[in-house]
Chain A
Amino acid sequence: MKNTVLKIEDLEVSINENKILKGLNLEIKEGEVHALMGTNGAGKSTLVKTLSAHYDCVVTNGVITYKKKNLLDLDVSQRANEGIFMSFQSPIEVPGVNNSYFLKTAMNEKRKYAGLEEIDAMEFLKHVKEETAKFNIDRKLLQRDLNDGFSGGEKKRNELIQLLMLQPDLILLDEIDSGLDVDAIKTVANVINSMLDGKRSILMITHYDRLLELIKPDFVHILNDGKIVKTGDYSLALELDEKGYEAIGIKDESK
C-alpha cells in the first residue's frame, strides 16, 4: 500500500478574519496527482498558501499531517526543506538578489537541513546546465536578479528551474499555467511529468483543461465555499469543462 504524504483533517482557515476554508479534508498518497478546481473565491489558493505557511493564513481548526509530522509546527523554510514546494501564482520580484546565488543558497539550505554537504558553484552550474538543457529552458534567467523585470512566462519558467533543482516531494502548483502560451504549458507539463517517479506527489490548481490533458490527474477535487464538495477522476474535469459548475450542482459564489 502506498504511504500517505499529506493528510488534511477538518481544516478551517481565515484570512483577515474572514473564514475561507470551512472544514476541508484531503488525503494525498505517494505518487498521486491531485487537481483542485473550483470557482473564484472557493478557497483553492488559500489551501496551498496554508500548506506553505503563508503569513496571511490563520489556521483556526484542524490537523495537517505531512510525512507523519504535524505540519503546523513547521515554519515556512522548514516545510520547504521537508520537501514542500509551492509554485507562486505571481512569483515575487526581488531586485538586488542574483537568481543563481538565490537558487544555490536554497539548494544548500536544503542539503544542510538533510545533513548533506553543501555544493560549490561549479557543481551547481553543472547541475543547472544539465537540468535546464533537458527541457530547453533558457539559463540566462539565472544571471539576472530574482524575477526582477521578468515577463509572466519567464517567472513561471524560473519556478520550473527551482522545481528541478530543489526536487521536492510534494509540489503545489497554484495556476502555473496562467498567462502561458501553449508551448510554455507543454514545457510545464514536460517538467512535471518527468518528476513523477511514483513517490513524488502533486496538488495543482488550474482552470485550464489543457494542463490537465497533459498532466493527467489521478483525482480531481471540486472546492466550493471552503470545502471539497465533489471528488472524482479525470472524467470529472472533462465533465466540468463541458457542462460548467452549475450543471454539476455547484453555485458560483463569485457571480
Chain B
Amino acid sequence: MKVNEIKGLNLPNKKDEEFLKINLDALFSYDFKDVQTYEFDIMGLKTVDDEKSYESVLFDITRSIDNKQKVITINKNIAEPIFLIHKIKEDETFFTNSLKIEVAKDIKAQVVEVFVSSSKNSAYSVNRTFELDENSSLEYVKVQDFDVSNSFIFNSYVEQQESSTLDFTNFEYGNGFILNNFINNINKENITYNLNGLVKLKDDTNCSNLIKTVHNAKSSLSNIDYKHSLKDNSKAIFKAKSIVNETALFTKAFQNTNTILLSDDATIFAQPHLEIYIDELEASHGATTGSLNKEQLLYLESRGIHKELAYEILLKAFEEKIAHNIKDEIIKDFIETYERSKYV
C-alpha cells in the first residue's frame, strides 16, 4: 500500500506554504506490506463514523483508510490520569488510529498517551479530536518515542466550549520522521488553550510541528511554547500561526519557541506567525536560537563541575521547563521517570 495511491486523497504538496521544508515524499511513496487499524486494549469503547470535515488534509490519511473513530467520554472526575500506551512492533506496516476524547461539563480530566515503536519501516497515522464541554478542563500529555525508519503523523483537532481549559503538552523523544499538526478554532469565550512541547532530537531525526490557532470569540487565551534541544544532524520545524479575528476582542495570543543547537549540523526552522485584525488584545511571538549560556557554564565549572556534566545540567534545566508546566503530579512524575526501555 502506498499512501499516494489512495483514491480520492489529496495529499499535501511540498509547494504548499504550510508544508515547505517538510519532505513527505518518502513516506507517501513508500510501499507498505500491510495496513492495520491500531486497536485500543480497552473494552467497550463507543465507535462512531468520523464525518467531520477537517481543514487540514492530513486528517484524511487516517480517515481514508478507516473512518471509524473510538470515543472516550469522561463525565466524572477521576483521581488518576488515564494512560493509553501505543506500541508499534510490526515491521513494514501502516497503522491508523482515531480517537475522540470528550470531557463533560465542569469535569476535570487527565489523559496521557505514549506512542512507542520498535518496528522497522512502519508508519502510524493518528487522529485526535478533543471536545471540551463548558467549564471543563483536560490535561493531555503525549509522549512520542518512535524508532529510526518509522514515521508518525499526529493530528489534533480541538473544540472547546465556554470557560474550558486544555493543557496540552508534547514530548518528542524519538528518532523517526515525525509530523504533528494541531488545530484549534476558538469559537467560545473565556477559553484557555496551552500548547507546550519539548522536541529533543538526535541523529538524523526530523520533527515538524504545524500549529494553527484561530481566535473567533472574545476573552480567550492561547499560549504556545516549544523548546527544542537538537543534537547531531537532527532537524526541527516549528510553524505556529495564530489568527485573531475581528470578533475576538480581548484575546491573549502568545507564541514562543526557544532552541538550543548542540551541533553545527542541527537545524531549526522556526516561524511564529501572528495575524491580528483588532487592537484590543495582548499578543506576542518570539523565537530564540543559540547554544548554552557560557556564563552559566563557567559558573558551574568554577565550582568544580567538569564541563560535560555542567553542560548536561544546563541542558536538563532547559528541557525540564516544559515538564514543570504539567499540573498533575502523577503525570509529572511519569514524565520525569520516563524511560523508553520500559515500553519496547
Contact = CB atoms under 8 A, between A and B. Distances in A.
Q: Taking each of A91, A95, A105, which has the highest tally of chain B beta carbons within 10 Å of its own beta carbon?
A: A105
Interface in A89-119: 91-92, 94-97, 102-103, 105-106, 109-110, 113
A105 B320 contact: no
Given A55-B298, A91-B299, A105 B313 contact: yes
12 contacts: A54-B298, A55-B298, A80-B302, A88-B299, A92-B298, A94-B296, A96-B318, A97-B313, A105-B309, A109-B305, A162-B303, A166-B304
Nearest to A92: B299
Contacts of A166: 303-304
A76 B302 contact: yes
Contacts of A202: none
A86 B295 CA distance: 14
Contact of A76 (B295, B298, B321): B298
A109 B318 contact: no
A75 B307 contact: yes
A52 interface: yes
Q: Taking each of A76, A86, A106, which has the highest tally of chain B beta carbons within 10 Å of its own beta carbon?
A: A76
A104 to B, nearest CB: 11
Given A77-B306, A92-B295, A96-B314, 16 more contacts: A55-B294, A75-B307, A76-B307, A77-B301, A77-B305, A80-B303, A88-B302, A91-B299, A94-B296, A97-B314, A102-B303, A105-B309, A105-B313, A106-B303, A110-B304, A166-B304
A96 B317 contact: yes
Interface in B283-319: 294-296, 298-307, 309-310, 313-314, 316-318
A85 B303 CA distance: 7
Nearest to B304: A80
A113 B313 contact: no
A81 interface: yes
B29 to A, nearest CB: 43
A10 to B, nearest CB: 25
Q: Taking each of A75, A96, A103, A162, which has the highest tally of chain B beta carbons within 10 Å of its own beta carbon?
A: A96
Contacts of A105: 305, 309, 313
A231 B76 CA distance: 79
A81 B304 contact: yes
Contacts of B307: 75-77
A83 to B, nearest CB: 10
B317 A97 contact: yes
Interface string B257-273: 00000000000000000
B57 to A, nearest CB: 39
Contacts of B313: 97, 102, 105
B215 to A, nearest CB: 31
B293 to A, nearest CB: 8
Interface residues of B, number: 22
A104 B302 CA distance: 14
B115 to A, nearest CB: 27
Nearest to A113: B304
A80 B300 CA distance: 10
B309 A109 contact: yes
Q: Taking each of A54, A80, A81, A95, which has the highest tally of chain B beta carbons within 10 Å of its own beta carbon?
A: A80
A76 B296 CA distance: 13
Nearest to A162: B303
Contacts of A81: 304
A248 B52 CA distance: 87
A130 B332 CA distance: 33
Contacts of A76: 298, 301-302, 307
A110 B300 CA distance: 12
A92 B296 contact: yes
Contacts of A113: 304
Interface in A60-89: 75-77, 80-81, 85-86, 88
A86 B317 CA distance: 24
Contact of A106 (B294, B304, B314, B317): B304
A75 B307 CA distance: 9
The 7 A-B pairs with the shortest beta carbon distances in the complex, nearest first, are A96-B317, A80-B304, A76-B301, A106-B303, A92-B299, A109-B304, A81-B304
Nearest to A81: B304
A102 B312 CA distance: 12
Contacts of A88: 299, 302
A125 B157 CA distance: 49
Contact of A77 (B294, B296, B304, B317): B304
Contacts of A55: 294, 298
A106 B300 CA distance: 8
Contacts of B296: 92, 94
Interface string A154-182: 00000000100010000000000000000
Contacts of A102: 300, 303, 305, 313
Contact of B305 (A52, A92, A106): A106
Interface string B317-331: 110110000000000
A117 to B, nearest CB: 16
Contact of B306 (A52, A85, A97, A109): A109
Nearest to A76: B301
A169 to B, nearest CB: 13
Contact of B299 (A75, A94, A103, A109): A94
Contacts of A92: 295-296, 298-299
A95 B317 contact: yes
Nearest to A98: B317
